[in-house]
Amino acid sequence: MTKNKFDKELALQYEEKEKLTAELNIAKTEIDFQNREKVKREEEFSVANIELAFQNEEKEKRAAELSLANIELVFQNEEKEKRAAELIIANKELLFQNEEKEKRAAELIIINQELAAFAYIASHDLQEPLRKIQTFGARILEQDNDNLSERSVDYFQRMCNAAKRMQTLIIDILAFSRINTTQRIFESISLSATVEKVMTDLKDDIGEKQALIEAGELCHARVIPFQFYQLMENLISNSLKFSRQGVQPHIVIKSRIIKGSESGVEALSPEKDYCHITVSDNGIGFETHFNEKIFEVFQKLHPKEEYKGTGIGLAIVKKIVENHDGIITAAGEIGKGARFDIYLPAAA
């Protein structure tokens, strides 16, 4: 082989070697690139696996939540069916109660009609004979007193007194029975004006007893005016009646607005405002164990020979207070007087 040909061959091989080296470098670069891409794919695959695992966990959570929701839905449907069944029963009960209410209302109408008839008889037919007994008895005592024996005069006087007590009893029973049947129209008024009217109407009794009555400015309250008048008239008359012999009657009437929680009375609403009225006196009083019994119908703590009355007055007072959604309590001590505490809802 000639030297030129050898050099050419050697140059050609060198060029081929450089081409192969270049191709090898390119292939190596490609392999490095592919390796980097492979690493990236592996990282992405790892991230994807983590994401897939997370999604699977979330899917399981959702499945568990859905299962719980289905259980809750089944429970709610069962409760709904129970409530529906209870509602059907409640509607039947309500229908029954309405029917019973209508029956009671019809019965009440009949009872009120009978009561009205009784009231008419008591007002007219029963009282008329009593008036005649008193009238004719008084005439006999006046005109024929000298012709009667001392015993006969005593009998006639007892007869007239008994007729008068019977007439008073009928009037008090009528007043007691009419408290719930009279029209209940409430008015927001100052109670002072009503007390002043009562004192004016009882002027003769107050003067006869030489009583001292202290009545401060009373609060406003929503009351049935006529019934509140009855209430105060009965309480003041009661204090005058049960005054002590030889002691000037002293009656004190006060009022203030208080919260139910300040009253010490459990039956009152703690946050509601009440007009607290007190009527106290220095009369004969009564024993503590009569605090409740004193309000019972026909309850008399003292002999009729000493103190006149039918034992209905304080029962009327309590019934009137209850008609006003109020409370009344009593406290007394023998020889030291009595005190009545009235709690009426205050005017708005």
Q: Predicted confidence band at 210 (pLDDT cuts at 50, 70, 90)?
A: very high
Tokens coding 49: 């696996």
Question: For strand 327-333 and strand 337-345, is the pairing parallel, antiparallel, or unpaired?
Answer: antiparallel
3-state secondary structure of 254: strand
By the 10 Å C-beta count (0-12 exposed, 13-18 middle, 19+ buried), 27 is classed as: exposed
User: CATH for 179-345, among 3.30.565.10, 3.30.420.40, 3.40.30.10, 3.20.20.450?
Assistant: 3.30.565.10
Block residue for tokens 């695959």: 45
pLDDT score, position 212: 92
Q: Strand ranges (DSSP E) for the chain?
A: 187-190, 212-215, 220-223, 250-259, 273-281, 327-333, 337-345
Q: What is the per-residue pLDDT across 314-324, written as a single tens digit (0 to 9) for each? A: 888 888 888 88
3-state class (DSSP) for residue 332: strand
Q: Which two tokens stand for residue 175?
A: 């007043």
8 A C-beta contact, residue 281 and residue 239: yes
Q: What is the pLDDT of residues 134-193, one digit of tens each?
A: 888 888 888 887 888 888 888 888 888 777 777 766 766 666 666 655 556 788 888 888
CA separation for the pair 341, 265 (Å, rounded)? 11
d(CA 12, CA 68): 81
CA distance 169 to 309: 8
pTM higher than 0.85 = no
Mind listing the pLDDT tens digit for each residue in 29-65? 888 888 888 888 888 888 888 888 888 888 989 988 9
Question: Exposure string (b/e) for 198-236, b if CB count within 10 Å is 16 or more?
Answer: bbeebeeebeebebebebeebbbbbbbeebbbbbbbbbb
User: Each residue of 103-115: pLDDT tens digit?
Assistant: 888 887 776 666 6
Phi, psi of 254, rounded to the nearest 5 degrees: -135, 165
- 3-class secondary-structure state, position 57: helix
Return the pLDDT at 114: 65
Q: Structure tokens of 129? A: 């004979």
Rounded to whole angstroms, the Cα distance separating 281 from 340 reads 9
- Is 338 in contact with 331 (CB distance < 8 Å)? yes
Taking the C-alpha atoms of residue 300 and residue 291, their distance in angstroms, rounded to an integer, is 13
d(CA 171, CA 299): 17
